Structure 1
């Protein structure tokens, strides 16, 4: 077996840093510079999951040293998370994180009930823009915008 046996036994140590750190680092830098938020979601979710895996490893290292397949399982899972053909991190975000974790749904009680409902339906970026608009023009201007939007919705429904 010689050289091939040694390489296969240490495959996780040879490929792991490139797959789990170097490529995600490069892709994250590209995502920061790109105009679309879709790749940001992929890479932020990847780093969150990688951090959880690392925390798990640090917490359970005595148990994991008795499980010889762990490094290979971690490598395969990280390949699934990272490779663009799978986009596993984005899949986990869409199917689990977004469904069960409701971060950012809090809206200040300083708004009317109607305004809070509208703000809760928006993405965080849109909400920031609306809150800046409210700071600049006041809550009455936002109320007028909501009324105009409601009239347009009623017109569309009447057709």
Structure 2
């Protein structure tokens, strides 16, 4: 690889992250990092990435991959749920379904923890399933609910209505 190509490749990612920071200034502390950029001469993206890597590393060391995957399954869906409740959009059903399925899978995971720990790359698989469940393009939680959870629980819910 040519040494002159490396900065160009890095610059592409720096610009993409910088654009993301500009679109989400509060979440990324854009103003504070711009001040730091002006004082030091280093690009704000370097500080942002360093902070993100340090935070993820600390979480990894404190709670391991399980904590990171659980945060992946909680933080973004919680944010989108709050956003959905405030907007009055039709996303409410998607996020309510996500939480029902996520809760059910969390309970099953805890009940079957001995089996789960024996599955290679379990947390990578779980991470993929979580993203699939909440991705707007796949709406996997609705698929899991309609195809699996609802048929499983429907008889019990009907019986509970009669009581």
Normalising by structure 2, we get a TM-score of 0.48
- RCO (CA 8 Å, sep 6+): is it higher in 1 or 2? 1
Question: Based on CA coordinates, which of the two structures has the bigger radius of gyration?
Answer: 1
Normalising by structure 1, we get a TM-score of 0.49
